Amino acid sequence: MKTEVRLSGSGGQGMILAGIILAEAAGVYDGKNVVQTQSYGVEARGGASRAEVIISDEEIVFPEITRPDILLAMNQASVDKFLDSLKEEGVLILDSTQVKNLPVLKSRFYQVPITELAHKAGGGIVANIVALGALIGLTGVASERSLREAVLARVPKGTEELNRRALNLGLDGAKEILGK
Amino acid sequence: MKTEVRLSGSGGQGMILAGIILAEAAGVYDGKNVVQTQSYGVEARGGASRAEVIISDEEIVFPEITRPDILLAMNQASVDKFLDSLKEEGVLILDSTQVKNLPVLKSRFYQVPITELAHKAGGGIVANIVALGALIGLTGVASERSLREAVLARVPKGTEELNRRALNLGLDGAKEILGK
């Protein structure tokens, strides 16, 4: 069982921190094998930066993602750039506050108002944490409990309550979509 | 021209943040192609965690490090675990405050009192930034100017001065070793 996740957004949307938190939730707290990667350079430019996480029950031999199982797209450039890379049966999660030109429907395709929920939590800066809550709630790729531990271990001191609200709003958004 | 760097230490020594800062110095500010990776799981346990950075003028096709050109070892477990992986002509940089059992001499082998310098800067928490200063000063794998920008862009607000001191002590430590 192996799941490849690509987190994409603009430079300021905190996708690298999101990647590290997801990796630590699955790797440190859930005890899976995880490789977390970010790339910089020519191909990384153009309004869509990304962080990648491979989560596996087995040892990870080839640590590069070619076609993700899960794509989080936090802005339009990310949808435009990375949608084609998603596996046929993959899951697309997009920030419906930011992405206005919706792609052709994929088999599993979720719209979550991530930025709007972040402002409700207390500020756009926690959009990445809302996104992680939504992603875990929708896909179960790490446990909710591990995600909580990983978030609180990584966010700056003094911002725990803000981040807890953001995480809960993301998780609740997922539950609403799934009708739980 | 391609350089592979492995940053290793205990869980609390901030090697992941150091990896991201080094990657952004070389990738965002120096404009190189960079892939930055961390692994979690069975092979990542046992007192030595690691972050890895590949810096290249060309596109990076295979993003996994097998034998680093540069190994930073911030504790004894890291030396014991990763020294064998270093290339024959590779550079070893170790924290001489932490590592007491010195390995058999490699061709280029630097001892820097990283933790001691961090306490001089204002606290052990900036040992990772001292280490980056020493590593860049000794190897030139990113420019000093880019490293300064990358550090200030990533460290928590309000800690800029502490981190600037740490960086300067690391750079100065390197210059002293090289007799500059």
Q: For chains A and B, what is the number of CB pairs under 8 angstroms?
A: 80
The reported pLDDT for the residue numbered A53 is 98
The reported pLDDT for the residue numbered A42 is 66
Token pair, residue B64, equals: 């996994």
The pTM of the full predicted model, rounded to 2 decimals, is 0.93
Among B133, B143, B131, smallest CA distance to B172 is for B133
The reported pLDDT for the residue numbered A12 is 84
Q: What percent of chain A has pLDDT over 70?
A: 96
Q: What are the distances in angstroms from CA A94 to CA A150, A165, A177?
A: 22, 20, 13
Which of B4, B40, B57, B64 to probe by mutation at the A interface, max A CB count within 10 Å?
B40
What per-residue string of b and e applies to B19-53 under the rule 16 or more CB within 10 Å gives b? bbbbbbbbbbbbebbbbbbbbbbeebeeebbbbbb
Closest partner residue to A28 among B20, B40, B42, by Cβ?
Answer: B40
The reported pLDDT for the residue numbered B61 is 83
Among B108, B102, B118, B99, smallest CA distance to B169 is for B118
Question: How far is residue B22's CA from residue A55's CA, in Å, rounded to a whole number?
Answer: 25
C-beta atoms of A23 and B41 within 8 A? no
Q: Residue range A152-160: average pLDDT?
A: 92
C-beta atoms of B42 and A33 within 8 A? yes
- Dihedral, CA of residue B46, residue B48, residue B53 and residue B54, to nearest 10: -70
B59 touches chain A (CB under 8 A): yes
N-term to C-term CA, chain A: 25
Within 8 A of B19 by CB-CB distance, chain A residues are: none
Q: HSE of B5 in the Cβ direction (CA atoms, 13 Å)?
A: 30
If one counts every other C-beta atom within 10 angstroms of the C-beta of residue A167, the result is 27
Within 8 A of A43 by CB-CB distance, chain B residues are: 59
Please determine, for residue A88, whether its predicted confidence score (pLDDT) is greater than 70.
yes
The reported pLDDT for the residue numbered A43 is 59
ipTM of the complex: 0.90
The reported pLDDT for the residue numbered A104 is 72
Give pLDDT tens digits for A125-146.
999 999 999 999 999 999 999 9
- Dihedral, CA of residue B85, residue B32, residue B128 and residue B171, to nearest 10: 100
The reported pLDDT for the residue numbered A105 is 66
Within 8 A of B63 by CB-CB distance, chain A residues are: 37, 39, 63-64
* pLDDT beneath 70, residues of chain B: 42-46, 105-107
Among A3-7, A59-63, B52-56, B140-144, the least confident range: A59-63
Chain B nearest-CA residue for A45:
B28
Distance from CA of A25 to the nearest CA of B (A): 10
B141 touches chain A (CB under 8 A): no
- Stretch (H or E) spanning B152: helix B144-154
Report A:12-41 residues touching B (Cβ under 8 A): 16, 20, 23-24, 26-28, 31-41
B10 touches chain A (CB under 8 A): no
Within 8 A of B22 by CB-CB distance, chain A residues are: none
Among B55, B85, B63, smallest CA distance to B72 is for B85
The reported pLDDT for the residue numbered B62 is 82
The DSSP letter of residue A9 is E
